[in-house]
């Protein structure tokens, strides 16, 4: 699209990054199912490998279908550039990769997806990295956790599983004061409900598997760079500010400016980690994004109705949906999430662990799966599945206690969903 008019979200989710195929005139973005690309000549090949010219070399690094998706997500998030990869977990590692060195740490929210807690508390130790987990509503605790070896602050905009909404601006102010990037996982909110960069985030990560694709067909991840962070302001980020031996001493930030992180993600991250998104997966996600705003409106509408019904039900102890007027986060939702608090939340079932298991087994419309953000309504008992590896204390801190189930509300008829929960609750608490 041209740089002329300023287009609305609904237009950009269909058109951003896409142009008719020059060879065939195809209106839809083709699936470029190819491994490699023919160079014009030897000089062209050398320029590409030296990062002196932008183009396609090998599909581990760049692919035209994936490139359209990268531009579309970056545009919707208001970022300078984006790198797509094979999954949301891959996106998290790739976001940290240029920032961290052995001995460095990341300050992370306690309210994260269980797999992210495991990745940050256990797996990254093998790189010599570590994580300090804090309640990001406690800003003093966040400040206190940052030390000379901290290289990033990490949170989720709408936390999985509880649906808690994060005060991104407050965390961004703390990160800025410490000279650190704030990384926000925006999977549950999507750029339709929240654009973290507008609230001060440096980097935004997505599991494109979820709401962006929206139909449970492919896995994928994305890292969006705001393009606003000064990577050369200190010596904390040598991968971006200092000479890169693999490219004859090229300095990414000096050479590429606002696109330094994006180019590093492709030229180093995808080159060496190989967490590549396949072009067919990118195509499915592009198709999903075309209806993102329409789906998110229905997701939020249904979630509000079901959360209110559950909150009034005597068989339920509590509901964590931030979109409820009773939520302690109601004011924060109005300020940072004006279009809604998403469609992900938990509720506690009277009867505890056993009642949760009975509930899950009795549902007919809700699918019992380890996923979220599908057009279909989904349920999972986090304590026995996604958060099973955590200690009981970690489960409680993450909002995934033994008496809690997580709902991802789909776009079906809300009354049908309520009826399904009603009959299942009857069986679970009989």
Quickly list DSSP for 309-359: HHHT-TTEEEE--TTSTTSTTHHHHHHH-TT---SEEEEEETTHHHHHHHH
Say what the pLDDT of residue 140 is: 98
DSSP state of 107: E
Cα separation, 48 vs 220, whole angstroms: 26
Say what the pLDDT of residue 3 is: 53
DSSP bridge pairs for 131: 106
Q: Using N-to-C axis directions, what is the helix angle for 352-362 and 414-428, rounded to 10°?
A: 130
Say what the pLDDT of residue 389 is: 76
Calculate the CA 248 to chain-centre distance: 34
Nearest to residue 27, comparing CAs of 18, 37, 36?
18
Cα separation, 109 vs 135, whole angstroms: 6
Cα separation, 82 vs 71, whole angstroms: 7
Torsion of CA 60, 61, 63, 66, to 10 degrees: 100
What is the CB neighbour count within 10 angstroms for residue 183?
Answer: 25
Quickly name the fold that domain 9-288 has.
3.40.640
Say what the pLDDT of residue 1 is: 56
Cα separation, 103 vs 369, whole angstroms: 37
- Provide DSSP, 19-47: ---TTT--SSPP----SB---SSHHHHHH
Strands (E), 165-270: 182-185, 203-207, 221-225
Quickly name the fold that domain 293-428 has.
3.90.1150
Cα separation, 381 vs 365, whole angstroms: 16
Q: Using N-to-C axis directions, what is the helix angle for 88-96 and 114-121, rounded to 10°?
A: 30
- Where exactly are the structural domains of the chain? 9-288, 293-428
DSSP bridge pairs for 155: 184
Residues in the chain predicted with pLDDT less than 70, given as ranges, are 1-5
Say what the pLDDT of residue 6 is: 85
Say what the pLDDT of residue 360 is: 95
Say what the pLDDT of residue 394 is: 81
Q: Do the beta carbons of residue 428 and residue 358 sit within 8 Å?
A: yes
């Amino acid at each position: 699209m041209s740089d002329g008019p300023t287009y609305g979200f609904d237009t950009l989710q269909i058109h951003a990054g896409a142009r008719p195929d020059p060879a065939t005139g195809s209106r839809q973005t083709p699936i470029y199912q190819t491994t490699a690309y023919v160079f014009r000549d030897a000089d062209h090949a050398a320029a590409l490998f030296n990062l002196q010219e932008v183009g396609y070399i090998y599909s581990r690094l760049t692919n035209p279908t994936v490139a359209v998706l990268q531009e579309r997500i970056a545009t919707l998030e208001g970022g300078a550039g984006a790198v797509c990869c094979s999954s949301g977990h891959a996106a998290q590692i790739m976001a940290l990769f240029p920032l961290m060195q052995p001995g460095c740490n990341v300050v992370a929210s306690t309210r994260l997806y269980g797999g992210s807690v495991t990745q940050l508390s256990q797996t990254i130790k093998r790189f010599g990295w570590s994580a300090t987990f804090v309640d990001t509503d406690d800003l003093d605790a966040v400040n206190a956790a940052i030390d000379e070896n901290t290289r990033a602050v990490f949170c989720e905009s709408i936390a999985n599983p509880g649906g808690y909404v994060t005060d991104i601006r407050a965390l961004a102010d703390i990160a800025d004061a410490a000279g650190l990037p704030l990384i926000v996982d925006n999977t549950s909110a999507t750029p339709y409900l929240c654009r973290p960069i507008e609230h001060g985030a440096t980097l935004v990560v997505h599991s494109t598997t979820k709401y962006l694709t929206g139909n449970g067909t492919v896995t994928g991840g994305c890292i969006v760079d705001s393009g606003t962070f000064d990577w050369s302001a200190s010596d904390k980020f040598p991968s971006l500010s200092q000479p890169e031996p693999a490219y004859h001493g090229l300095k990414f930030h000096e050479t590429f400016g606002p696109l330094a992180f994006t180019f590093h993600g492709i030229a180093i991250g995808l080159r060496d980690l190989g967490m590549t998104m396949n072009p067919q997966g990118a195509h499915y996600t592009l198709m999903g994004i075309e209806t993102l705003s329409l789906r998110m409106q229905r997701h939020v509408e249904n979630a509000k109705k079901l959360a209110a019904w559950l909150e009034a039900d005597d068989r339920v102890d509590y509901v964590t949906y931030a979109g409820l007027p009773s939520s302690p986060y109601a004011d924060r939702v109005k300020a940072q999430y004006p279009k809604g608090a998403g469609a992900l939340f938990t509720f506690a079932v009277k009867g505890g662990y056993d009642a949760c298991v009975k509930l899950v087994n009795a549902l007919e419309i809700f699918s019992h799966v380890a996923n979220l953000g599908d057009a279909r309504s989904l349920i999972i008992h986090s304590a026995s599945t996604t958060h099973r590896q955590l200690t009981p204390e970690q489960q409680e801190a993450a909002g995934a206690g033994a008496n809690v189930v997580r709902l991802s509300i789909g776009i079906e008829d809300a009354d049908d969903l309520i009826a399904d929960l009603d009959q299942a609750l009857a069986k679970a608490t009989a």
